Amino acid sequence: MADDRFFLEGKNFWWPSEYADIMQMLGGKNSKDEKTHPAMYKNNAYSVILAATIGLIHNRKADIGKNPLAIDTSIFDRNKLGNIPLSYFFGLIFLLSDEKNPEKNIEKFRDSDDNDDSNEEYMIKIVQQFTAGGLEYLRGSINEKGDLTGSLVLNNEALPFLKKIEKIIKDKPVDLNF
């Protein structure tokens, strides 16, 4: 990986604009862009990873819609959770997207065609679908619980994700060496 980049340059990640209010809420703001509570994340890249994770947990995919909003993929390389670039979580979500057959996605990473970035486009599309599904799930859960800041819902979502990863690794270890 040249220059510690996960993504090739010039790519966009798209997310559904209909969930801009959820993305604002995760950033500590209301729909009028007013600061109303502490931000859970400093930018939308973190919120995308969270939403994709929730989509993965609940095996929920959705379409990105007719008017999606873009995030340059380089932001996932530039931002970290701890010492790990967000782009690595992006890759992990993709690899876990077929928990019954994770080798299929590893092979997709390894495949090469005449169009070198086609595998990257495929990965981006899968994570976009899980992000849209996760945002859809968050909206429903937040509305159902009347949770204006989303903290109750998110606290209930983080633990199941960690347990799911632990179970996948324990039940079927995957060789991630390339």
At 75, list the tokens: 């932001």
Between 10 and 106, name the one with better pLDDT: 10
> 3-state class of 85 per DSSP?
strand
pLDDT of residue 176: 44
- Which segment of 9-18, 81-90, 110-119 scores lowest on mean pLDDT? 110-119
- Indicate the burial class of 151 (C-beta count within 10 angstroms; 0-12, 13-18, 19 or more): middle
pLDDT tens digits for 42-97?
Answer: 889 999 998 999 999 889 999 999 999 999 998 998 888 878 888 888 888 888 88
pLDDT at residue 130 above 90?
yes
φ, ψ of residue 84 to 5 degrees: the values are: -105, 125
CA 18/CA 99 separation, integer angstroms: 29
Give me the count of residues in the chain. Answer: 178
Q: What is the pTM of this model?
A: 0.78
Other Cβ atoms less than 10 A from the Cβ of 70: the count is 10
Pairing of strands 12-15, 69-72: antiparallel
pLDDT at residue 6 above 80?
no
